Structure 1
Amino acid sequence: MTDSSSSPITVRYTCPHCDAVHSIDRAPDLADRSVTKHSQPGWEYATPDDDLEVRETADGIAFICGEDGPVTDLEGKQIEGCGRPFYLNFVRFEQGVELDPNPATYGGPRFDFNG
């Protein structure tokens, strides 16, 4: 839950498909894990149009590049965006223990070999 006494801040995320930059207001106590091309199985995503509190209590935010508001290139020039989905994944906890995405989306590939 967000602290209502804190003012939102504008945060920028880059589309992993085309490098378009998306800006969105967020609570200042960010708990971001990753930006991915695919959603995490079982995670519930808010949209950029949802209220700030709804966005911050979800498991992440699902973007559609160029359709969720204006986007820019890395230098700040307004561009179209590619129209493909991408996902901002938050850090998640269950009973006080941080959960890893399944499959992991950071640190390179993971392989589980069962003898």
Structure 2
Amino acid sequence: MTVTVRYTCPHCGAVTSVERAADLADRSVTTLAQAGWEYAEPEDDDLEEADGIAFVCGEDGPVTDLEGEPVDGCGRPFYLNFVRFEQGVELEPDPPTYGGPRFDFEG
């Protein structure tokens, strides 16, 4: 089963839509790609095989404002990151590029 899901560009606030499988779990939308993650294009048929979707605001189809009125996108890339699992354990991006700085201290 597929659903249409809307995502807001973190650069300009324009809204883009993509049709994808309903069981994919979203982690985040970021301005930078996660290191080592494989991204599909929004029109790819095998989104389930990717770690997320790479968008270019306004170039991957029509975009709107929050009220649904057509707007021009900013042309900048942004990334939808799916939740990833390995052997049943949820993987964190390494290094994470969302949620602010990361400080690891080994004692």
Q: Same fold (TM over 0.5)?
A: yes
Moved beyond 6 Å, runs of 4+: none
The structure 2 residue matched to 1:75, chosen from 58, 64, 67, is: 67
For these two proteins, the number of residue pairs brought into alignment is 107
The structure with more strand, counted as a fraction of residues = 2
Asked whether 1:41 is paired with 2:35, we answer yes
Contact 1:10–1:24 (CA<8 Å) still a contact in 2? yes
Percent identity of the aligned residues? 76
Cα root mean square deviation, aligned: 1.3
Q: Kindly state the Cα deviation for residue 95 of structure 1 after the two structures are TM-superposed.
A: 1.6
| TM-score, normalised by the number of residues in structure 1 | 0.86
Q: Kindly state the Cα deviation for residue 103 of structure 1 after the two structures are TM-superposed.
A: 2.1
Instruction: Show structure 1 runs of 5+ residues with no match.
Output: 1-5
Q: Which moved more, 1:55-64 or 1:98-107?
A: 98-107
How far apart in 2 are the matches of 1:12 and 1:113? 38
Report matched runs for 1:1-115 at 5 Å: 6=1, 8-51=2-45, 54-114=46-106
Instruction: Show structure 2 runs of 5+ residues with no match.
Output: none
